[in-house]
């Protein structure tokens, strides 16, 4: 025999069962009252319901739990000298559980009877979506997954569950897989928002559970999450999404926010358990800055994951972001310069001459052609990272060819003016980057000599971050008359 | 005029290639190509020893010559002089780390960290499928 008691939160249910109206002038009948103290509702997968009956001392009582079809549980007992009797209901039904819904607790002693409703409920969500409000307080940027060539936006759930329990225990949403990933992970995936957004979270209420249904159509259950405000959808009802919004902006810098939401369910004052929802949110500077609206010009998830992990805490402005990206490409990607010929591994120019810079980004992500690159590659790679996280960056050419001052090429350990060996002291052209309207240069291919005489040793490392265009030429060019030209946003595939 | 006619006749008489058959890739050390969606006629093959073979198939020899000229300008920032005879109808590069070759209507750009670029280019030319 299983004694199950579902209690609906709030205060304990106390019912005067002797039928006497306390406001009546009629003399009271001296009959013992029966009070049933239990929670308003409970989730049996989280534990049983404790019930206490208060009646006259040392009297026999009959306790029943009934559903609409009849008696589910019956138990006999005797109150103690203090008039209390307690029991516990696990809501088990053989190997399974009693059905979700509202039950009636009933306690009968000689001359009196008490009843209280109790809800048997399983609350949980099976899908989570992250949304924005078109920039009023949140802007979500869709993420592109290059292997599957799919774009995921607010209509697509970031986290899903096949069910809210496994028949025995509640289930949380899975964690997001670690590290840059080209393949979209099952169950929980990252999403990108502009850094100061207050994301909106839409949750789909479960309709089935280990109890059959969920009981949410007849039992009022609320949900809360610390740091989030529920906007709609409470009490939970199957088929009606719950909408919450984060109270505070994600941050004032770019990076990655790892959130671990505890979605707490309650019925009145009674807590019904919680469901965990991990979220990984990329805090980007702004929307993708590529000119094309095609899916592949939205942020690529593996690119954003890698760059923002490295740029965590960077000031959310264009120049600091570009500076940090030069560090990232120059130091962190294990790339080195092609000192044989300065030939591209991942780039071509699709227009006339050196116009139309184009990056084979899918190949670069897997290093399909190795890690030895040239300036065209570095410019395109830097441009891809920058534009994808909202920092506008154009490809820019220096030509005709020129002799070099001292430089330290990417992956090199010392400065040289002849990166290609004796007789190889010049570039036929050079590719750099600039943000529109700045007349500043960012270049991840090389570091300049930052001292007063870049044409001679000793040399001082100067990363090319926000270098004025004229100064850049002065430091790079030993002889020749290269000009800046062909400034354009790159393309990719 | 006679010289021009001879040049044009030479172009017209060159056999044309239709491409590189997939079944010959492994035998010449090339990996499965990336077919560009943005650059018509471009296939990019990783080398089994590292590096890259870019193969541009043009409809005509004259168009391939334009591709060659474009890559001569954009394919490298430093073209070292050849250290050995180079293959094809026209070629530049040192033949070890890099070589740019035109054979009829096909242009091949080889970057080889193993320093056998010209050898790789010859293998690729030898594997091309001629037009019937």
Supply the ipTM of this predicted assembly.
0.89
Asked whether residue A2 carries a pLDDT value surpassing 50, the answer given is no
Q: Supply the DSSP string of A459-481, one letter for each residue.
A: --EEEEEEEEHHHHHHHHEEES-
| pLDDT on residue A392 | 98
Which of A415, A433, A440 shows the shortest CA–CA distance to A425? A415
For residues A363-386, average pLDDT: 96
The Cα angle at residue A214 between residues A11 and A274, in degrees rounded to 5? 60
Residue A72 scores a pLDDT above 90:
no
**pLDDT (tens digit per residue) in A431-462:** 999 999 999 999 999 999 999 999 999 999 99
What pTM was estimated for this model as a whole?
0.90
B51 touches chain A (CB under 8 A): yes
Q: Which two tokens stand for residue A216?
A: 């949410």
What integer pLDDT is reported at residue A449 of this predicted model?
A: 97
Q: A22-26, A34-38, B46-50: which range is least confident on average?
A: A22-26
Instruction: Give the residue, A182 or A275, on which the prediction is more confident.
Output: A275
Q: State chain A's mean pLDDT as an integer.
A: 93
pLDDT band of residue A21 (cuts 50, 70, 90) is: low
Averaged over A232-237, what is the pLDDT? Answer: 98
Task: Assess whether pLDDT exceeds 70 at residue A301.
Answer: yes
3-state secondary structure of A273: strand
Residue pair A111/A118 in contact (Cβ under 8 Å)? The answer is: no
Name residue, tokens 């009490």: A235
B-chain residue closest to A340, CA distance? B97
- Per-residue burial over A186-196, b = 16 or more CB atoms within 10 Å of its CB, e = otherwise: eebbbbbbbbb
Please report the pLDDT score of residue B14 as a whole number.
60
Q: A18-22, A107-111, A143-147, A361-365: which has the minimum mean pLDDT?
A: A18-22
Closest-CA residue to B45 (of B72, B63, B20, B67): B20
| pLDDT at res. A20 | 45
Contact at CB, A341 and B113, closer than 8 angstroms: no
The answer, yes or no, to whether residue A5 has pLDDT greater than 50, is no
Lowest-pLDDT choice from A154-163, A180-189, A344-353, B86-95: A180-189
Residues whose CB is less than 8 angstroms from the CB of residue A326 and which lie 6 or more positions away in sequence, other chains included: A382, A442, A443, A444, A463, A464, A465
Tell whether B33 is within 8 A of chain A (Cβ). no
Q: Does B40 touch chain A (CB under 8 A)?
A: no
Interface test with B, best of A339, A343, A443 (most B CBs within 10 A): A343
| Average pLDDT over every residue of A19-33 | 54
pLDDT score recorded for residue A19: 44
User: Residue A453 corresponds to which tokens in the numbers above?
Assistant: 């005489």
Q: How confident is the model at residue A29 (pLDDT cuts 50, 70, 90)?
A: low
d(CA A424, CA A403) in angstroms, rounded, equals 9
With a pLDDT cut of 70, the percent of chain A lying above it is 94
Percent of chain A at pLDDT exceeding 90: 89
Q: Which residues of A touch B78 (CB under 8 A)?
A: 341-342, 420, 424, 426-428
User: What pLDDT sits at residue A438?
Assistant: 97
**Residue of higher predicted confidence among A253 and A182:** A253
pLDDT digits (tens, 9 = 90+) for A147-200: 999 999 999 999 999 999 999 999 999 999 887 778 899 899 999 999 999 999
Other CB atoms within a 10 A radius of the CB of residue A471 amount to 14
Categorize the per-residue pLDDT at A31 as very low, low, confident or very high, splitting at 50, 70 and 90.
low
Phi then psi for residue A473, to 5 deg, are -60, -45
Please name the member of A342, A344, A358 whose beta carbon is closest to the beta carbon of B78. A342
Contact list in A for residue B39 (CB cut-off 8 A) is 348, 350, 358
Q: Min CA distance, B45 vs chain A (Å)? A: 8
- Average the pLDDT over A214-229 and give the result: 97
Range in A13-22, A202-211, B118-127 with the lowest mean pLDDT? A13-22
């Amino acid at each position: 025999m299983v004694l199950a008691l579902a209690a609906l939160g709030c205060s304990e249910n106390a019912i005067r069962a002797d039928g006497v109206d306390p406001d009546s002038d009629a003399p009271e009948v001296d009959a013992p009252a029966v009070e049933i103290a239990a929670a308003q509702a409970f989730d049996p997968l989280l534990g049983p319901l404790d019930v206490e009956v208060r009646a006259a001392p040392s009297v026999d009582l009959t306790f029943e739990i009934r559903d609409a079809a009849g008696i589910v549980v019956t138990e006999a007992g005797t109150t103690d000298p203090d008039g209390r009797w307690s029991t516990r209901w696990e809501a088990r039904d053989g190997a399974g559980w009693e059905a979700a819904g509202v039950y009636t607790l009933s306690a009968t002693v000689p001359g009196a009877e008490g009843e209280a409703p109790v809800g048997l409920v399983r609350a949980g969500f099976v899908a989570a979506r992250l949304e924005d409000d078109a920039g009023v307080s949140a802007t979500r940027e869709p993420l592109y997954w290059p292997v599957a060539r799919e774009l995921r936006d607010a209509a697509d759930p970031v986290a899903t569950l096949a069910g809210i329990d496994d028949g025995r225990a509640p289930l949380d949403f899975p964690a997001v897989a670690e590290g840059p990933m080209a393949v979209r992970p099952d169950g929980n995936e990252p999403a990108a928002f502009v850094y100061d957004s207050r994301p909106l979270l839409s949750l789909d209420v479960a309709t089935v559970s280990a109890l059959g249904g969920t009981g949410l159509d007849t039992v009022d259950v609320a949900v809360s999450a610390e740091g989030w405000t529920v906007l709609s959808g409470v009490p939970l009802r199957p088929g009606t999404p719950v909408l919450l919004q984060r109270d505070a902006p994600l941050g004032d810098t770019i990076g990655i926010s790892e959130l671990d939401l505890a979605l707490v369910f309650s019925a009145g004052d009674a807590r019904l358990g919680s469901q965990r929802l991990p979220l990984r949110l990329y805090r980007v500077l702004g929307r993708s800055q590529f000119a094309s609206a095609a899916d592949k010009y939205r942020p690529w998830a593996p690119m954003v994951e890698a760059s923002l992990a490295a740029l965590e805490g960077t000031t959310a402005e264009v120049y600091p972001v570009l500076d940090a990206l030069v560090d990232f490409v120059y130091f962190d990607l294990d790339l080195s310069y092609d000192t044989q010929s300065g030939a591209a591994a991942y780039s071509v120019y699709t227009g006339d001459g050196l116009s139309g810079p184009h990056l084979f980004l899918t190949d670069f992500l897997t290093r399909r052609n190795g890690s030895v690159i040239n300036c065209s590659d570095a410019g395109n790679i830097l441009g891809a990272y920058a534009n994808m996280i909202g920092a506008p960056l154009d490809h820019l050419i220096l030509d005709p060819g020129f002799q070099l001052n001292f430089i330290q090429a990417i992956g090199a350990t010392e400065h040289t003016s002849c990166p290609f060996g004796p007789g190889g002291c010049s570039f036929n052209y050079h590719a750099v980057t600039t943000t529109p309207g700045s007349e500043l240069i960012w270049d991840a291919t090389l570091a300049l000599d930052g001292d007063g005489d870049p044409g001679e040793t000793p040399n001082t490392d100067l990363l090319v971050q926000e270098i004025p265009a004229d100064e850049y030429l002065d430091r790079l060019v030993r002889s020749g008359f290269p000009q800046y030209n062909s400034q354009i946003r790159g393309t990719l595939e | 005029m006679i010289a021009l006619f001879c040049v044009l006749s030479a172009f017209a008489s060159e056999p044309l290639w239709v491409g590189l058959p997939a079944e010959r890739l492994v035998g010449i050390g090339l990996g499965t190509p990336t077919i560009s969606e943005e650059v018509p006629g471009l296939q990019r093959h990783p080398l089994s020893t590292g590096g890259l073979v870019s193969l541009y198939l043009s409809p005509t020899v004259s168009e391939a010559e334009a591709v060659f000229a474009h890559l001569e300008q954009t394919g490298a920032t430093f073209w070292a002089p050849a250290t050995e005879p180079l293959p094809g109808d026209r070629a530049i590069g040192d033949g070890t780390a890099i070589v740019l070759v035109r054979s009829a209507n096909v242009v091949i750009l080889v970057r080889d960290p193993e320093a056998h670029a010209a050898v790789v280019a010859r293998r690729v030319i030898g594997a091309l499928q001629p037009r019937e």
